[in-house]
Amino acid sequence: MGMDQRQRRREGSQRAQASRERRQGAKAHRKKTNLLYGIVAGVVAVAIIATIVLLQGGGADLGIKLSELPGQHAAPYFYNQDVVIAGEPGRIPPSSGNHFAQESTYGFLGTDLIPEEVVHNMEHGAVVLWYQPDDPELAGKVNQLVRSLGEQCIVAGSFADQSFEITATVWGRALPQATYDESGLRAFVSEYRGTEGPEAGLCRG
């Protein structure tokens, strides 16, 4: 074999080796890129799930945090009820503000709630469950829930001026539900009963 043939064969072998290395490098790059995309997608998915959990219940920070109004035992009695949730406007019951000096009775009332009374209960750390009126089945579910949780530091009654089937509130926080979700309500009560409000803890006594 002549020198020229050996040289051409050597050069061909080198080109083939370089081609294999390029293919391997490209394959490794694609694998690394796919892994990176997978990690980013996973992080985004976790963030979305976490947002849903915060709004629906099931974490250490349940429902939505609201701006708090001063709580005096005097008029005027006005409340912040308009909110935007997931880009959609809605209306929720009161969660803070001026109120009557007389608070509401605790437990399941089965009648229309008087905001100026139950806001006082929330000032003392109570959870209030506001459900849509004229729905005996819903009222029965709420009644059973209150009985199972215990009436201490809970007020429950009907309230039509909201966009939701039921809303749980404490001072400065609300958990609105388009449809009744007992597990979410239980978590909210467990997390916040007797802990929120300028005079939180009084209801426990």
Give the total residue count for the chain. 205
Distance of CA 92 to CAs 48, 117, 126, 159, Å?
A: 24, 17, 17, 10
Orientation of helix 136-149 relative to helix 182-192, angle to 10°:
40
The order of strands in the sheet holding 127-131 is 64-65, 173-177, 166-170, 127-131, 154-158, 107-112
Pair 187, 143: CB distance under 8 Å: no
Would 205 be classed as within a structural domain? Answer: no
At 192 the pLDDT is 97
For residues 91 and 151, membership in a common domain is answered with yes
Instruction: List alpha helices for the chain, DSSP H.
Output: 3-56, 115-123, 136-149, 182-192
Residues 39, 80 within the same domain = no
Q: How far apart are CA 176 and CA 64, in angstroms?
A: 8
Lowest mean per-residue pLDDT among 31-35, 81-85, 95-99, 139-143: 31-35
Examine the pLDDT at 97 and tell me if it is beyond 70: yes
- Mean pLDDT, residues 91-113: 97
List residues bridging with 131 in a β-sheet. Answer: 158, 166
Name 177's bridge partners: 166
Assign residue 96 the CATH number of its domain.
3.40.30
CB 193 within 8 A of CB 62: no
pTM score, whole prediction: 0.71
Range of the domain at 77: 64-192
pLDDT in tens, 117-163: 999 999 999 999 999 999 999 999 999 999 999 999 999 999 999 99
**Domain end point (choices 56, 78, 95):** 56
Query: Percentage of residues in the chain with pLDDT exceeding 70?
Result: 70
Q: What residues form DSSP beta bridges with 168?
A: 129, 175
Q: Report the pLDDT value the prediction gives residue 9, as an integer from 0 to 100.
A: 62
143 found inside a domain: yes
Same structural domain, 51 and 72: no
pLDDT digits (tens, 9 = 90+) for 48-71: 333 343 444 444 589 999 999 999
Question: Are 95 and 78 a contacting pair, CB within 8 Å?
Answer: no
Q: State in Å, rounded, how far the first CA of the chain is from the last one.
A: 104
Rg (CA), the chain: 30
pLDDT-wise least confident of 19-28, 124-133, 177-186: 19-28
Q: Is the bond preceding 76 in cis, omega lying within 30 degrees of 0?
A: yes
Residue 73 belongs to some domain of the structure = yes
Same domain, 100 and 48: no
Per residue in 28-52, pLDDT (tens digit) is: 656 655 554 454 344 333 333 333 4
* Residue 204 falls inside a structural domain: no
Q: Are residues 149 and 123 in the same domain?
A: yes
In a domain, 10, yes or no: yes
